[in-house]
């Protein structure tokens, strides 16, 4: 399945990538050259079931078929999108579902790899309360901004974003070495800093609701299977993935924003002096205990060490 946008005004055609940013900034895939458009106005992201439209907290809003986007929306062939009065039509080639036998007959067999990777999971803290206190429009702006920051930060550190799951992001590095281990910690620190940036940008929204905005991050290394698990889906699976999600949930109880495992620390001995041993902990859904370590957000490894 492929998607593209056609400009109703100019007739220009824009092929959509796995992540396409729209706005007036030069970093955007689709430039909306209009002072009424925000620098990063909206994002279209390809998920397993199609292309989803997110407003990134734009000042003048994003519109789908005449209605303002206040939550992520799945695009359908023929949909009309408006950004600062610039109109685009969404065109979809193929679909996310189809005849299985026909699909098998013309598809390429996916290559599944099994190797050690670095896994990162980050989750917005107190999201249930946040979603209850904020209006749908305000919540969509916050989540859209967070998605955008995650995409940008993880891309800067050459991580692969596997998926967003509501208020959570899963990403990974397919090489485990000193540089990528350092990068993963730097990415975690930057993700936390981005929460403060979003809070400062939207302070009035949060203050009116009496809420803060923050996240927890977990890092782990382990051997997983990754590749095309099904038609149109590329992901990673394995016990290390599940464990990373469980560790991230401990950031609340241990009151530490960045947690990792003994496996990660042993793979990165140069980072040991920057981390704190938080002891042995029972992790939900596992019979074996796990040794947990924590990083402080200001304990950044030097970029010259790798």
CA atoms of 20 and 35, how far apart (whole Å): 20
Residues 79-114: pLDDT tens digits?
999 999 899 999 998 765 444 333 333 444 445 567
User: What is the Rg, in whole angstroms, of the alpha carbon atoms belonging to the chain?
Assistant: 20
Q: How many residues in the chain?
A: 306
Q: Which residues contact 59 (CB under 8 A, 6 or more apart)?
A: 36, 38
| Residue 56 pLDDT exceeds 90 | no
| Residue 135 pLDDT exceeds 50 | yes
Residues 152-204: pLDDT tens digits?
999 999 998 888 877 889 999 989 999 999 999 999 999 999 999 999 989 99
**Overall pTM > 0.85:** no
Judge whether 120 and 159 are in contact, CB under 8 Å. yes
Q: Which residues contact 106 (CB under 8 A, 6 or more apart)?
A: none
The whole-angstrom distance between residue 203's C-alpha and the CA centroid of its chain comes to 22
Cα distance between the two ends of the chain: 39
273 SS3 class:
helix
CA atoms of 75 and 95, how far apart (whole Å): 11
In this structure, of 53-57, 152-156, 299-303, the range with the lowest mean pLDDT score is: 299-303
Judge whether 223 and 149 are in contact, CB under 8 Å. no
Helices (DSSP H) in the chain: which residue ranges? 100-106, 127-133, 136-156, 178-201, 203-209, 239-253, 262-267
| Residue 237 pLDDT exceeds 70 | yes
- pLDDT, average across residues 236-249: 89
CA angle 153, 155, 160 (to 5 degrees): 120
What proportions of the chain, in percent to the nearest 5, are helix, strand and coil?
A: 30, 35, 35
The widest CA-to-CA distance across the chain, in whole angstroms, is 61
DSSP string for residues in 148-185: HHHHHHHHHTT-EEEEEETTEEEEEES--SHHHHHHHH
- pLDDT, average across residues 17-30: 87
20 SS3 class:
strand
| Residue 208 pLDDT exceeds 60 | yes
The region that residue 231 occupies, defined by phi over 0 for left and psi between -120 and 50 for alpha, beta otherwise, is beta
Which of 221, 121, 120 has the alpha carbon at shortest distance from 168?
A: 121
Question: Average per-residue pLDDT in the chain?
Answer: 85
Kind of pairing between the strands at 86-93 and 2-7: antiparallel
Cβ atoms within 10 Å, residue 120? 29
Which of 190, 275, 155, 177 has the alpha carbon at shortest distance from 221?
A: 177
Cβ atoms within 10 Å, residue 60? 16
CA atoms of 115 and 223, how far apart (whole Å): 5
pLDDT at residue 101, as a whole number? 37
pLDDT at residue 232, as a whole number? 42
């Amino acid at each position: 399945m492929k998607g593209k946008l056609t400009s109703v005004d100019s007739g220009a055609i824009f092929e959509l990538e796995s992540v396409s940013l729209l706005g007036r900034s030069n970093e955007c895939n689709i430039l909306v050259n209009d002072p009424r458009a925000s620098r990063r106005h909206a994002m279209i992201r390809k998920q397993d079931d199609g292309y989803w439209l997110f407003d990134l907290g734009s000042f003048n809003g994003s519109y789908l078929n005449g209605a303002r986007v206040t939550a992520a929306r799945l695009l359908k062939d023929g949909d009309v999108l408006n950004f600062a009065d610039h109109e685009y039509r969404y065109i979809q080639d193929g679909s996310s579902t189809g005849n299985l036998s026909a699909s098998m007959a013309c598809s390429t067999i996916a290559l599944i790899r099994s190797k050690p990777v670095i896994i990162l999971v980050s989750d917005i803290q107190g999201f249930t309360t946040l979603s209850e206190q904020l209006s749908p429009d305000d919540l969509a702006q916050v989540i859209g901004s967070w998605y955008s920051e995650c995409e940008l930060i993880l891309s800067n550190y050459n991580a692969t974003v596997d998926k967003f799951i509501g208020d959570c992001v899963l990403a990974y590095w397919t090489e485990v070495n000193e540089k990528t281990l350092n990068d993963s910690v730097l990415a975690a620190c930057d993700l936390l800093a981005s929460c403060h940036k979003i809070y400062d940008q939207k302070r009035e929204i949060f203050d009116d609701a009496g809420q803060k905005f923050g996240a927890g991050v977990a890092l782990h290394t382990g051997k997983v299977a990754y590749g095309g698990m099904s038609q149109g889906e590329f992901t990673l699976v394995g016990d290390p993935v599940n464990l990373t999600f469980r560790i991230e949930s401990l950031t609340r109880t241990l009151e530490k924003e960045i947690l990792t495992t003994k496996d990660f620390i042993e793979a990165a001995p140069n980072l040991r002096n920057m981390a704190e041993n938080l002891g042995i902990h029972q992790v939900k859904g596992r019979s074996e205990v796990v040794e947990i370590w924590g990083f402080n957000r200001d304990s950044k490894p030097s970029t010259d060490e790798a």
